[in-house]
Structure formats: structure tokens, C-alpha cells
Copies of this chain bind each other. A is one copy, B any other.
Amino acid sequence: MKKDRPFTHAIDRLGSVGLRPTRQRLALVRLLFENGDRHVTAEQLHREVTEIGVKVSLATIYNSLNQFTAVGLLREVAVETGRSYFDTNTAAHHHFFNDDTGELQDIPGDSVVLSTLPIAPDDTVVESVDVIVRVRNK
């Protein structure tokens, strides 16, 4: 029996955004999307893909993360200067960031809501609103 969830298969997900299903991109797509929502850095993903025995250069990791972001498969989250996080959940949502562990995690559902959104400065339009709740280990 066949799942009807869209893009169950890595190859279809790549096809849907017009990227060729290469060995490297397939491995990355599987790691990223076949285990629920994820938040990864380039180095993390490189370590993971290497661990499962697939050889992918770090340059390709960066290329792929940027391409996936450009086509809307991923979004980038800025939590600390120095390194980028990529998020497989592209819907509007907010984050907890653990300063001790560097772990980024979604804030569930609507458990944080802005009561008022402020008026954007003159001649500007609001693009997005990012809420980051910074936490520390107790």
C-alpha cells in the first residue's frame, strides 16, 4: 500500500522543485525530511551524511542547503552570529534556542502569539516576524 503524503520520496521532492536527483542531494533530502521537522547547521548535516557512509563535500552541503532554501524547501533561521541554522519547517512559527547546547527547536502551535504587530517604519513592509525564546539549562 502506498502513502498519499506529498513527496514521500526524496526523488519526488527534488523533482517538484526542479533539482536533479543526484546521489548527494538524495542523501541530504532523506536526512532532512524523512524524520520529521529538523533544524541543522551545515557542519551537523555534513557529519550526519558522512556517518551513514555517503561521501559529500562540505561545498556541496552548502550549495544544497542554499539551493533548498532558494526553492522554498528550507528556511534559514538567524539565532547567533557565526553559523546558520536551516529549518525544514517553512511554515510561520517560532523557536526556542538553547544557548548552552546550541539546540534550536520549534515552539509548538500557537503557544506564542503577538497580540499587536507594530507599524513598520516609513516606506517599508513587514517581511516576517521571528520570535526567539532563549533558554538555558537549569
A-side interface residues toward B, CB under 8 Å? 78-84, 96, 98-99, 105, 107-108, 110-121, 123-138
Closest-CB distance, A20 to chain B (whole angstroms): 28
Residues in chain B near residue A125, CB distance under 8 A? 135-136, 138
In the bound complex, how far is the Cα of B138 from the Cα of A120, in angstroms? 11
Residues in chain B near residue A127, CB distance under 8 A? 99, 134-136
As for how many copies of this chain the complex holds, the number is: 2
In the bound complex, how far is the Cα of B107 from the Cα of A133, in angstroms? 17
Q: Which listed residue (B99, B116, B119, B123) contacts A138, Cβ 8 A? A: B123
* Chain B, residue nearest A76 (CB): B81
Q: Assess A107 versus B118: contact at CB under 8 Å? Given A78-B79, A81-B83, A134-B127.
A: yes
Residues in chain B near residue A126, CB distance under 8 A? 133-135
Residues in chain B near residue A108, CB distance under 8 A? 118
In the bound complex, how far is the Cα of B117 from the Cα of A107, in angstroms? 10
Closest-CB distance, A109 to chain B (whole angstroms): 9
Closest-CB distance, A80 to chain B (whole angstroms): 5
Closest-CB distance, A115 to chain B (whole angstroms): 4
In the bound complex, how far is the Cα of B124 from the Cα of A98, in angstroms? 8
In the bound complex, how far is the Cα of B119 from the Cα of A127, in angstroms? 27
Q: Assess A114 versus B131: contact at CB under 8 Å? Given A83-B81, A105-B121, A136-B124.
A: yes
